[in-house]
Structure 1
Amino acid sequence: MDRLEKQVGTMRETYGQVKQRIVDAEEQINEMQEDVDGLDDEFDEVARTLERVLEAFEVADSLD
């Protein structure tokens, strides 16, 4: 009976550790998703800037 209780105790401890690792991984994933979302916004701004630059060059070329 003692051996079984020790095994159950070990299983509970292992379960707790695995559960904590899952929580930690979910937090890291959420942080990375926020970073990716921020990059999306920055890429969108770069694309808009490039469009404005290209439009400016097109206008300049049409004046020649």
Structure 2
Amino acid sequence: GRTLGPIAKPKQIKVVGELPKTRSGKIMRRLLRDIAEGREVGDTTTLADSTVMSQIQAQLPPAGDNG
């Protein structure tokens, strides 16, 4: 807490098997934000593996569930 500013501290951490990455290897933070905030996932056409988003969503509790 002393080294990170308030904006850099996550509210919670969820461990997943893989992250949504583009073909060039960049992590798509926008898609992770969509899932974390319970929004519909946006455009995933640039992902290297299009199944990753459904895998992440399957590992997380339904939107609105705090568990």
TM-score (norm 2): 0.21
User: Looking at CA atoms only, which structure, 1 or 2, has the larger radius of gyration?
Assistant: 1
Higher helix share: 1
Higher relative contact order (CA 8 A, sep 6+): 2
